[in-house]
Amino acid sequence: MKSEYRRALALGLVLLLSGAGLLALGAGIGSTGFESVLAAGSDPVAWQIVWDIRLPRTMGAWLAGALLGLAGAVAQGLFRNPLADPYLLGSASGASLGVAIALTLFGVSPTSTEWVVRLGLTGAAFLGAVLAVLLTLLLARGVQQTLRLLLAGVIVGVVLGAAKDLISIASADILQALQGFMLGSTGLVGWGACGVMGVLGVACLLLAWMLAPVLDGLALGEATASSLGLPLPAMRAALVAVLALATGAAVAQTGLIAFVGLAAPHLVRSAVKTTHARLIVLSAAMGGLLLMAADLLARWLIAPQELPVGVLTAVLGGSYLLWLMHRRSARGAWR
C-alpha cells in the first residue's frame, strides 16, 4: 500500500510540474513567438498578448482537459467499461444541438458573432449538454439499471445529432461556425472562462472524490456494492450529476474535444494501480496535461496558422488506443 501511494504521489507531482512547465511554454507560443514574453515588461501590447490571450488560453486548455479527464474516470468506473467516455450520456450531441439552435436564432453576422460566441454559444452548449443528460435519465427511468442508462445515452446521442444535422441543413450559413465548435478550440478562452471551469472543476473533483468508494464497490459488482450498504441509486445519481456538470463545463468553453476523457484514465492506470479516489485526481491532472500539450502543438505545428485542437487529440488519442489494443491483444489480455 505504501509503494502504491508513493507511485501515485510521484505521478501526481510529475503531472503538476509538467503542467507548470507547459504553462510557461504556452506564454511564448504564438504568431509573435517569445519576443512578446521578453518585451512584456516594457511594451503594453506585448503584455496584453501574453496576459490576456496566451496565458488564459493555455490555462483554459488545462482546466478543460482536467474536467474531461475527471469525467472520463467517473464514466469508466460508473459503467464498468474501459471504453466509456464523458460523452456517453448524449452530452456531446446535446451541446452541438444547443449551439446549432443558438447560431440559427442569433445569426452569424459580423456584428453578432462576438456576442454569440462569448455568451450565446457558451450558455447554449452547456444547457444543451445538461438537458441531453436529463433526457437520457428520463428515458432510462433513473439510474438504477446501468445498461438501460447506457442504451438511453446512445439513443439520445443519435437523435439529437440528427436534429442538429437537420438544423444545419436548413440554415446552411451556420455550417462554418458550427464546424468550428465540432472540431474544438481553445482560442476564445479567457480568464472569465477559466474562472468558471476552475470553480466547477473544484466542486466536481470534491464530489467525485467523496463518491469514489461507490466506484470501488461497483468495480467488484453491483451485488457486492449493495452488500456493503452503499445507497447505490442516490450515489449513482450524484455521479451522473458530476459527469454531466464536468463535461458540460468543458464542452461549453472549448467545443468537442475527442479522446482526452477516454485516454487520460488509461494512461494513469498504465502507470499506477490505485483506488478510484486517487485515480480521479490523477486522471484530472493527466487530462489537463494532455489537452494543454495538444493545444501547444496545434499552435506550433503550422504557425502562424493553427490546427483545430480537437482534430489533433482525435488523431493522437486514437493512435494511442489502437496501439494499446494491439499490445494487449498480443499479450492475450484484450478479449
Quick check: 127 pLDDT over 60? yes
Show the 3-state SS of 176-241. Answer: HHHHHHHHCCCCCCCHHHHHHHHHHHHHHHHHHHHCHHHHHHHHCCHHHHHHCCCCHHHHHHHHHH
Of the candidate ranges 29-33, 90-94, 143-147, 259-263, the one whose mean pLDDT is the lowest: 29-33
CA dihedral of residues 156, 157, 160, 162 (deg, nearest 10): -120
Print the domain residue range for 149: 2-331
**What's the confidence (pLDDT) of residue 36?**
53
Is residue 124 very low, low, confident or very high in pLDDT (cuts 50, 70, 90)? Answer: confident
- Helical (H) or strand (E) element with 66: helix 55-79
Quick check: 312 pLDDT over 70? yes
Quick check: 185 pLDDT over 70? yes
Tens digit of each residue's pLDDT (9 = 90 or more) over 158-184: 999 999 999 988 888 888 888 888 888
Contact between 298 and 306 (Cβ < 8 Å): yes
Contact between 322 and 332 (Cβ < 8 Å): no
For the record, the C-alpha cell of 44 comes out as 503594453
CA–CA distance from 125 to each of 29, 56, 302 (Å)? Answer: 28, 20, 29
**What's the confidence (pLDDT) of residue 82?**
83
As for how many domains the chain has, the answer is 1
- Selected residue with higher pLDDT from 69 and 323: 69
Quick check: 83 pLDDT over 90? no
Contact between 247 and 87 (Cβ < 8 Å): yes
Cβ contacts of 264 within 8 Å, gap of 6 or more: 65, 68, 69, 72, 73, 283, 284, 286, 287, 290
CATH number for the domain that contains residue 65: 1.10.3470.10
Contact between 281 and 209 (Cβ < 8 Å): yes
For the record, the C-alpha cell of 60 comes out as 483554459
- Mean pLDDT of the chain, nearest integer: 84
The per-type count for the chain, helices as H runs and strands as E runs, is 16, 0
Q: Determine the Cα–Cα distance for residues 210 and 165; give it in Å rounded to an integer.
A: 39
Longest dimension (CA), the chain: 66
Q: Which residue is associated with the grid cell 438511453? A: 152
Tens digit of each residue's pLDDT (9 = 90 or more) over 275-301: 999 999 999 999 999 999 999 998 888
Tens digit of each residue's pLDDT (9 = 90 or more) over 144-155: 777 888 899 999
Is residue 335 very low, low, confident or very high in pLDDT (cuts 50, 70, 90)? Answer: very low
